Structure 1
Amino acid sequence: MNLETFQQLIQKVTNHIGDRPLNKTLQDDLNQTFPVGGDVYNGIVNACRTGVAQGWMCQYEGGGIRYGRVIKPTDVLNGYSVDVVDMKDLAGPHHRHPNGEIDLIMPIDDTAKFDNHPAGWLVYGPDTAHSPTVSQGQALVLYLLPEGKIEFTRS
């Protein structure tokens, strides 16, 4: 697994998303099109676990969170950036999504949840905000951010 192969996996998802609005309809569609246990989901999970183990993902650490921007915003991914975090039973820094955020939740512990959601896709629309929280164990979470935009705020 390498960055180029990883980007090709993510491109399948961002090509499917296109320029659709980030909302519950998109979330439902992603969970149906790229379901937990499906080829694309499993490919991304395996790529992320390998990338973390090889040290080219989640290469930074702070506040108990391992994290890193894997791909800067690029036209190849329809303007999305890709970040991956590794969290266990904690809340991350509060932030706002000016253009929205698409998350892929990949539990390492079967019981782990991200913002009270199990494995799968979670979509936050534009101008939403949260303190990203992993509970009931450890999970990797992949973030697709339109134009790479995120604003860290006070909760």
Structure 2
Amino acid sequence: MRDSFESLVKTITQSIAGRPVDAALEAYLNRQHGPGSDWFRDMTRACEAGVDEGWLCNREAGGVRYGRVVKPGPGSAGFSVDVVDMTDLAGPHHVHPNGEIDMVMPQTAGARFDGTPAGWKVYPPGSAHRPTVAGGRALVLYLLPDGAIEFTQS
């Protein structure tokens, strides 16, 4: 399943390479690769399998299971790829110097990530938040341009 995951990552990162990390990107992703798409369904299955097999979300801190799966490089169009597994909690506050692109995969009906149900949430460069899952459990795949993230004390 890991090969399938990496192939799906390449598909999505190549499709968004060079695009501004903004609301237009969020609309594009939800339209082209949203919850009704084969790609979204296949990536959700690959993430669920990766968690079950132990190669995704194999670390834990503060109740958040997480793991960086792909480092930024040519094969991922310069994006890092991380997946988190959260249930009804807020993660550590951080800043996105180059933005953050999140794929939300509820595992419990009604679970939301920062208010977003199944689908995509895009944070522009310079934004910050405490990533929060409410209403149950969700997996969140996030893409960071150049792998840039800064954890803060807030």
TM-score range (shorter-chain normalised) is over 0.9
Match of 2:148, SS?
coil
Q: In structure 2, what is the equivalent of residue 154 of structure 1? A: 153
TM-score of the pair, normalised by structure 2: 0.98
Q: In structure 2, what is the equivalent of residue 104 of structure 1? A: 103
- Percent sequence identity is 54
1:73-122 deviations in whole A, cap 9, x for unaligned? 12111100100000000000000000000000000001000001111011
Q: In structure 1, what is the equivalent of residue 42 of structure 2? A: 43
Amino acid at match of 2:93: H
Q: Map 1:1-155; keep pairs closer than 5 Å.
A: 1-2=1-2, 4-155=3-154
How big is the alpha-carbon RMSD for the aligned residues of Structure 1 and Structure 2? 0.7
**Structure 1: runs of 5+ lacking an equivalent:** none
Amino acid at match of 1:50: A
Query: For structure 1, which segment, 10-19 or 43-52, has the greater mean C-alpha deviation from structure 2 after superposition?
Result: 10-19
TM-score of the pair, normalised by structure 1: 0.97
1:120-151 deviations in whole A, cap 9, x for unaligned? 01101100000000001100000100111100
Deviation at 1:37, TM superposition (A): 2.8
Distance across 1 between alignment mates of 2:75 and 2:65: 26
Amino acid at match of 2:108: D
**Structure 2: runs of 5+ lacking an equivalent:** none
Match of 1:118, SS?
coil
Query: For structure 1, which segment, 129-138 or 71-80, has the greater mean C-alpha deviation from structure 2 after superposition?
Result: 71-80
Between Structure 1 and Structure 2, how many residues are aligned? Answer: 154
Amino acid at match of 1:112: A
Deviation at 1:56, TM superposition (A): 0.2
Distance across 2 between alignment mates of 1:135 and 1:66: 15
Distance across 2 between alignment mates of 1:14 and 1:98: 18
